[in-house]
């Protein structure tokens, strides 16, 4: 199984009203940090090597991981300044061995069949797990062609049905490093959006359970739903 890079360096400003003293990945869900659910989900699918891309309150996250997952093979990369999702991923790629990596957001739980996604990834530069949704306006939608190549990332607006970026990726190291990036950049806006123009991104549709705790409303919803899913 591939190595996992987990983005956990964000400031979590939209959740400050709920968790003023915690990094977002440690937000308690029924008394258990959200990060715990993510790690267990990947462990169940055979992921045993994880790289945590940290920034804000990194010492709290490291302390939790060392105490709660002492046997987990883990590495920490701590950014000295906010690098954006792209800058954090770039550092993770540069400082890690491997040809392809699973990448996931630390504030999103998406139950994707990784083995199937890896098989479909094949020789693609980057594959993105897409969640089918109905009646949504919080997320932008993702357009696909008949071969499941991603052709466009649409702005947020109400959609009666469509696909959203579920925040789980498989990324090829060599292909990614062929591009020139600044130290600080957005993976979504400055990499994915540009790559969609030449149809080199693969979409992997998954209807597994999905939740993003980035806003108080969905954080509250997670308290009910992840109690069942754990």
Residue 8: per-residue pLDDT: 95
Residue 227: per-residue pLDDT: 76
For CA atoms 53, 55, 56, 62, the dihedral sign is positive
pLDDT tens profile 112-151: 999 999 999 988 899 999 999 999 999 999 999 999 999 9
Query: Any idea where the domains of the chain sit in the sequence?
Result: 3-127+165-229
Confidence of residue 13 (pLDDT cuts 50, 70, 90): confident
The rounded mean pLDDT for the chain is 93
For CA atoms 29, 114, 105, 47, the dihedral sign is positive
Confidence of residue 25 (pLDDT cuts 50, 70, 90): very high
Q: Is the separation of the CB atoms in 208 and 6 below 8 Å?
A: no
Residue 3: per-residue pLDDT: 96
Q: Concatenate the DSSP letters of all residues of 59-92 into one string.
A: HHHHHHHHHH-TTSEEEEEE-SS--HHHHHHHHH
pLDDT tens profile 56-109: 999 999 999 999 999 999 999 999 999 999 999 999 999 999 999 999 999 999
For residue 8, give the nearest of 20, 22, 21 by alpha carbon: 22
Residue 230 pLDDT > 60, yes or no?
no
Q: What is the pTM of this model?
A: 0.94
Residue 27: per-residue pLDDT: 94
Residue 165: per-residue pLDDT: 97
Residue 229 pLDDT > 80, yes or no?
no
For residue 182, give the nearest of 81, 113, 38 by alpha carbon: 81
Residue 162 pLDDT > 60, yes or no?
yes
- State the average pLDDT over residues 175-197: 93
Residue 228: per-residue pLDDT: 63
Q: Is the separation of the CB atoms in 186 and 85 below 8 Å?
A: yes
Q: What percent of the chain has pLDDT over 70?
A: 99
- Pick 40 or 229 by higher pLDDT: 40
Domain spanning 3-127+165-229, CATH architecture: Alpha-Beta Complex (3.90)
Residue 168: per-residue pLDDT: 98
- State the average pLDDT over residues 161-176: 96
């Amino acid at each position: 199984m591939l190595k996992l890079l987990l983005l956990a360096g964000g400031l979590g400003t939209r959740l400050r009203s709920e968790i003023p003293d915690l990094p977002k990945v440690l937000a308690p869900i029924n008394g258990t940090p959200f990060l715990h659910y993510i790690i267990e989900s990947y462990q169940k699918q055979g992921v045993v090597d994880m790289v945590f891309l940290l920034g804000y309150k990194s010492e709290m996250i490291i302390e939790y991981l060392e105490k709660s997952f002492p046997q987990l093979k883990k590495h920490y990369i701590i950014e000295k300044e906010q690098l954006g999702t792209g800058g954090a991923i770039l550092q993770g790629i540069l400082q890690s061995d491997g040809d392809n990596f699973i990448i996931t957001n630390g504030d999103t739980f998406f139950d994707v069949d990784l083995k199937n996604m890896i098989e479909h990834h094949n020789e693609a530069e980057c594959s993105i797990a897409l969640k089918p949704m109905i009646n949504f306006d919080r997320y932008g939608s993702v357009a696909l062609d008949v071969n499941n190549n991603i052709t466009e990332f649409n702005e947020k607006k109400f959609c009666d049905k469509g696909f959203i970026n579920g925040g789980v990726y498989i990324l090829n190291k060599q292909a990614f490093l062929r591009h020139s990036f600044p130290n600080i950049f957005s993976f979504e806006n400055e990499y994915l959006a540009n790559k969609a123009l030449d149809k080199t991104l693969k979409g992997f549709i998954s209807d597994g359970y999905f939740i993003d705790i980035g806003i108080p409303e969905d954080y509250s919803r997670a308290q009910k739903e992840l109690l069942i899913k754990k």
